[in-house]
Structures are given as C-alpha cells and as structure tokens.
Amino acid sequence: MAKIIYIATSLDGFIARKDGNIDWLTDLPNPDNSDYGFSSFIDGIDGIIMGRNTFETVVSFNQWPYTKPVFVLSNKLKTVPEAYREKATIVMGDIGDIVESLRMEGIERIYVDGGKTIQSFLKRNLIDELIITRVPILLGSGIPLFAEMDFETKLKLVDSEILSGNLVKSTYIRI
C-alpha cells in the first residue's frame, strides 16, 4: 500500500496560518486556471485520509473537491455533516490498524492530508512518497508541515518542476 502526501507549503514550511486560514494559498494568481496536476494525482489514488481540522476546512469550500472516498481520522468527531455522509467516513483508532483495514477494502494508494495526520503517519514510518509544492511566501508563523520530530526520515528527490513560473513542486520517495 502506498501512502502519499500531496501538499503545498510556504517557503518557511507552513501549511496554514495559526488560525488554520489558507487564504495565502487560495489567493495565488493562477492565470491558466491550472490545478497544478492535482486532478491527475487524484486519478491515481484510491482514497484519502485526513484529520478533522483538514476535513472541516474542506467542508467550508464552495464545492467538494474529491471523487474518491474520504476517511476522516478523528477521536472527537462522531458523525460527518449529513451532506457529506456519502462522501466521508470517520475512522478512529491505531493508524496502523486503520491503514490495514483500508488495504483490506482494496484501497492500495492513499492520499494522506492534514498537518497532524501527516506527522502521525511520518512518526509511524508510514509515508512512502511526498509531493510538496513550495509557494513563494514567507508566513513567519503558522501550522508547520513538519513539527519537531525525534526521528529521521531519509528521502530521495525523484522529480522537481516549476509551475506557472512561480511554484516549485518536488516529489520525494522514502529510502
């Protein structure tokens, strides 16, 4: 089973402002109306696992952006809003057990999203690939992609591209 991160960060490594706001990301100039390869990426995965905070952010968008099943990792959220019950399922418990359960359901390639969720997967050595797009802004503070860790993860850069002359999307695999 492949577990993949696909995320954007500020140059100083933040995925959102301290209050969770991602206006700096949604307000990016995009003259070509590009999704920067996101649709192609989603076509290649079987499901998405995200944390509660990320789910609540996604629910606030005008449109549900996913066509694949979404699994919300939460010990606090007991149900999803009625409008999303066919689109999202709450999962709780040990991350390793959840991953194995999803694999048994035929989900072989999973997109892992959300700061705390990503950090939990990294801590358990459960990430195989990271696709990180760096946005040319310094936020100065916010929610970091990588918190202080007491472990090391070795990666290999396998691809890097400039998007719209402004963003840098890099793909790493765990070695």
For 36-58, write each residue's pLDDT tens digit.
Answer: 889 999 999 999 999 999 999 99
When pLDDT is cut at 50, 70 and 90, the band that residue 140 belongs to is very high
pLDDT confidence of residue 113: 96
Mean pLDDT taken over the chain = 93
What is the DSSP secondary-structure string of 56-67?
HHHHTSSS---S
The residue whose two tokens read 């490594």 is 13
Segment 2-16, tens digit of pLDDT: 999 999 999 999 999
pLDDT confidence of residue 105: 95
By percentage, how much of the chain surpasses pLDDT 90? 75
pLDDT confidence of residue 16: 94
pLDDT confidence of residue 154: 93
Q: How far is CA 6 from the centre of its chain?
A: 5
The SS3 assignment for 152 reads coil
Q: What tokens does 45 get?
A: 């995965």
The model scores a pTM over 0.85: yes
**Which CATH architecture fits 2-18+35-169?**
3-Layer(aba) Sandwich (3.40)
pLDDT confidence of residue 165: 85
Instruction: Quote the CA–CA distance of 51 and 23 in Å, as a whole number.
Output: 19
Give kind and range of the element (H or E) at residue 134. strand 129-135
Segment 67-113, tens digit of pLDDT: 999 999 998 888 999 989 999 999 999 999 999 999 999 999 999 99
Q: Is the pLDDT of residue 32 over 90?
A: no
Q: Is the pLDDT of residue 31 over 80?
A: no
The SS3 assignment for 101 reads helix
Q: Is the pLDDT of residue 152 over 80?
A: yes
Contact 123, 143 (CB under 8 A): no
Q: Is the pLDDT of residue 169 over 80?
A: yes
Enumerate the domain spans of the chain: 2-18+35-169
Q: How far is CA 13 from CA 24, 94, 105, 121, 172, in A?
A: 13, 27, 34, 18, 16
pLDDT confidence of residue 45: 96
Burial 2-29 (b: 16+ CB within 10 A, else e): ebbbbbbbbeeebbbbeeeeeebbeeee
